[in-house]
Amino acid sequence: MHKLLISLLFIITFQTCLVAQDSIRRQEQNKYNFSQLVNEAGLLVIRPIKWNGCDWIKFGVVGVTTVALMQEDKKIRDFSQNNQKYPMNFLMEVGNQYGGFFFGPLLCVSLYTIGSVSKSNKTKKIGFEIAQGMLYSEGISFISKGIIGRARPSVSQSAFEFHPFTFFKSPYNSFPAGHIDAAFALSTVLSRNTNCGFLKVIAYLPAALTVVSRIYQDYHWASDVFIGAAIGYSVGNWVVNLHEKKDSRVQLTSLYPLTFKIGLN
């Protein structure tokens, strides 16, 4: 019951606070349906072949930082486990549920349904982008986890124990952190869809709780969490940018009389 109450509280809060102003006209390019979900997944898959120099630099920085963090994983893990005062308190539960398989799906379905029924394209868009961000980032995470096969800190004293190609074996699916990529994809979409600077920052607070809870409760190494956050943040930004780019295009809607439709965000 407490999981449901936490989820409903978040839904009500974000639904009330997020800016839900629609564009002047509904854009034809963004229908926010299953077909678009699949098509844009394909665009994400081929995205790396279109990266420019700046993109590769960012990728390199994330990679180097992850490797550097791996050298400190054992120390961070020991520190967190030697200071176990509140392992199962309310905030830890909020962090776990925010990046889990209950709150995110419930929020995206709720917003998508509300937007469809009320004909609010903005609200529908947020629900759709949450679904995209979480599904795409979880897909990347699932494939990476299985291929890399890193042992979780709860089952190994070494941060460098790997069992490659161990799909569907949770004890060896530590890298990257799935709860974290989902949490940051969700927070990034929420942050990008509000014009309030305060809410843009607050949207990341639950994701920060997820980071703390996953390390504190010994589910992940710090480097797992970092790379998971990078994946979720990147994917969340990508889906929002993709839709904003489409909505900003000038469209020819009539030849006679000559009429254009311009989407403004």
Amino acid at residue number 196: C
Q: What b/e sequence results for 74-99 when a residue is b if at least 16 CB atoms lie within 10 Å of its CB, and e otherwise?
A: bebbeebeeeeeeeeeeebebbbbbb
Architecture of domain 54-262: Up-down Bundle (1.20)
Whether the pTM exceeds 0.85: the reply is no
Rounded to whole angstroms, the Cα distance separating 108 from 7 reads 11
- Predicted confidence at residue 13, as pLDDT, reads 52
- Predicted confidence at residue 254, as pLDDT, reads 40
Rounded to whole angstroms, the Cα distance separating 203 from 18 reads 10
- Predicted confidence at residue 211, as pLDDT, reads 97
Backbone angles phi, psi at 252, to 5 degrees: -85, 115
Amino acid at residue number 164: P
Q: Where are the alpha helices (DSSP H) in the chain?
A: 2-17, 34-46, 53-70, 73-81, 90-98, 103-118, 121-148, 178-192, 197-202, 205-216, 222-247
Q: What is the mean pLDDT of each run of 10 residues along the chain (265 residues)?
A: 52 47 46 93 95 95 97 96 80 91 94 94 95 97 97 94 93 96 97 94 96 94 98 97 70 40 43
Greatest CA span in the chain, whole angstroms?
A: 74
